């Protein structure tokens, strides 16, 4: 097994570098542990990319791809690699991409582009994106008797599961992009932990219980829950979770923390401030909410309190997006993230009421917590 950490270093202030043919390049910052742990973190990202390239190479050489589209994708990814936030053999992987381009040029008979093209586009686009979320468990039994509507799942105390954690249910075989793009069958919430690998859950939403019922073997998804470690995310923008047109970020933080999620950063739209420790190397997702929407005429009015507040919120959102890009953090729209996490969202979104959260200068806090989420 390759030790990709030998291609990087961490200096005294925590800046992480990758060694390239042109010299050392900054790929991020590490403040959460030892330099060795920091290098291992960025090396794991590189290892994930190498695995993707292995799959791309195998399919391209098998002839199951369109040469022209493959060639265009490989060339684009070759350029993108120069800015990837990883530690590993950048030059070696670049050479492999060059060879893949040569294979594409030598096989003009390749025709089937769709799956390979999507895989290539993912390689360096957003490692760890929501499309790569894996099933966390599965349904083992459904009890519809006596109007109970209980679902038994193969997760329990040994998986550090606890009540109130929610999951989306997808049919067996749904993984990666297929799971992210497909409408969920149902959403469930854990009620009782029965055994090390068995719990019951209540159904909180079901798309069509007669035509597409929950079945044993269906898969559980929730990108906000991980049995092995606590998930870190950041919240950016106006997030309405109940359909009333008002920002519900504090309520969402409270719900996520009950599931063990750590909020590294969140935007307080009233105070126009980014709160929390900040987006860092542990942050996995930047969950994007809505932007303040005001007419050009209102935005152009001098002295308009709401317009000035909207501009300040937009500036903070851009700041969080730029930081996420710098740290290689995947971004996802909040409705997709919450839907896949098992939350019951209103079917018809209401237009966000700008004045409801931009008036005044008072700060808002998550219920029962301090300014910085724990």
Could you give the domains of the chain? 4-127 (no CATH), 132-221 (2.40.10.170), 232-358 (no CATH)
pLDDT of residue 212: 87
Q: Which residue has the higher pLDDT, 208 or 68?
A: 208
Please tell me the distance from the alpha carbon of residue 287 to that of residue 276, in angstroms, as a whole number. Answer: 15
Checking if the pLDDT of 214 tops 90, the result is: yes
Please tell me the predicted confidence (pLDDT) of residue 71: 63
> CA nearest 212: which of 182, 256, 249, 244?
182
164: left (phi over 0), alpha (psi -120 to 50) or beta: left
pLDDT digits (tens, 9 = 90+) for 223-276: 777 776 678 899 999 888 887 777 889 999 988 887 778 899 999 988 889 999
CA distances from 132 to 46, 119, 129, 162, 178 (A): 15, 11, 6, 24, 10
What pLDDT was estimated at residue 319?
94
Average pLDDT on 174-186 reads 66
Q: Where does the pLDDT of residue 281 fall: very low under 50, low under 70, confident under 90, or very high at 90 and above?
A: confident
202 vs 21, more confident: 202
Average pLDDT, the chain: 76
* Range with the poorest average pLDDT among 163-167, 168-172, 177-181: 177-181
**Strand pairing of 198-206 and 15-20?**
unpaired
Interaxial angle between packed helices 114-123 and 35-62, expressed in degrees from 0 to 180 and rounded to the nearest 10: 160
Contacts of residue 79, Cβ cutoff 8 Å, sequence gap at least 6: none
List 262's β-bridge partners, or say none. Answer: 232
| Among the listed residues 66, 84, 179, 67, the one whose alpha carbon sits nearest the alpha carbon of residue 123 | 84
Q: Residue 83's pLDDT band (boundaries 50, 70, 90)?
A: confident
85-100 average pLDDT score: 85
Question: Per-residue pLDDT for 92 more than 70?
Answer: yes
- Confirm if 149 and 209 have CB atoms less than 8 A apart: no
Lowest mean pLDDT among 2-6, 49-53, 195-199: 49-53
Which pLDDT does position 248 carry in this prediction? 87
Which token pair is 172? 């067996």
Tell me the DSSP string of 93-154.
Answer: HHHHHHHHHHHHHH-TT----HHHHHHHHHHTT-TT-GGG----EEEEEEE-GGG--EEEES
**For the residues 300-328, what does the mean pLDDT come to?**
85
Cα dihedral sign, 100-102-107-112: positive
pLDDT of the residue at 372: 41
Q: Rounded to whole angstroms, how far apart are CA atoms 197 and 220? A: 14
Looking at per-residue pLDDT, the higher value among 313 and 21 belongs to 313
pTM as predicted: 0.50
- Go through 324-346 and write b for each residue having 16 or more CB atoms within 10 A of its CB, e for each that does not: beebbbbbbebbebbbbbbbeee
> Which of 62-66, 147-151, 271-275, 321-325 has the weakest average pLDDT?
62-66
How far from 263 is each of 29, 129, 132, 311, CA to CA, in Å?
Answer: 19, 18, 21, 24
Most confident of the following: 106-115, 142-151, 362-371:
142-151
β-strand partners of 206: 186
pLDDT on residue 235:
96
């Amino acid at each position: 097994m390759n030790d990709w950490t030998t291609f990087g270093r961490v200096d005294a202030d925590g800046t992480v570098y990758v060694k390239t043919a042109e010299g050392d390049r900054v790929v991020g910052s590490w403040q959460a542990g030892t330099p060795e742990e920091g290098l291992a973190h960025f090396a794991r990202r590189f290892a994930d990319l190498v695995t993707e390239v292995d799959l791309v190479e195998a399919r391209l050489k098998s002839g199951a791809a369109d040469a022209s589209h493959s060639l265009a994708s490989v060339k684009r990814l070759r350029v993108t690699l120069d800015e990837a936030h990883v530690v590993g053999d950048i030059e070696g992987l670049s050479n492999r991409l060059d060879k893949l381009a040569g294979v594409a040029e030598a096989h003009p008979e390749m025709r089937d582009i769709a799956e390979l093209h999507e895989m290539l586009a993912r390689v360096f686009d957003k490692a760890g994106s929501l499309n790569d979320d894996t099933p966390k468990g599965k349904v083992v039994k459904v009890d519809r008797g006596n109007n109970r509507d209980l679902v038994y799942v193969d997760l329990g105390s040994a998986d550090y599961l606890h009540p109130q954690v929610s999951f989306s249910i997808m049919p067996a075989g749904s993984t990666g992009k297929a799971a992210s793009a497909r409408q969920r069958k149902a959403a469930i919430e854990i009620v009782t932990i029965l055994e090390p690998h068995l719990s019951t859950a209540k159904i909180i939403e079901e798309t069509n219980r007669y035509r597409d019922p929950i079945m044993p073997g269906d898969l559980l998804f929730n990108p906000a829950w991980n049995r092995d470690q606590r998930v870190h995310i950041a919240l950016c923008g106006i997030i309405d979770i109940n359909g009333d047109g008002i920002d519900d970020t504090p309520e969402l933080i409270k719900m996520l923390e009950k599931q063990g999620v750590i909020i590294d950063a969140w935007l307080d739209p009233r105070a126009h401030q980014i709160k929390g420790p900040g987006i860092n190397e542990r942050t996995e997702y930047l969950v994007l909410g809505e932007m303040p929407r005001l007419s050009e005429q209102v935005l152009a009015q001098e002295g308009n309190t709401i317009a000035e507040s909207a501009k300040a919120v937009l500036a903070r959102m851009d700041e969080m997006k730029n930081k996420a890009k710098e740290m290689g953090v995947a971004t996802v729209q909040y409705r997709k993230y919450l839907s896949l996490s098992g939350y019951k969202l209103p079917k018809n979104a209401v237009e966000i009421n700008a004045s409801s959260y931009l008036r005044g200068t008072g700060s808002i806090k998550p219920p029962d917590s301090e300014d910085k989420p724990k």
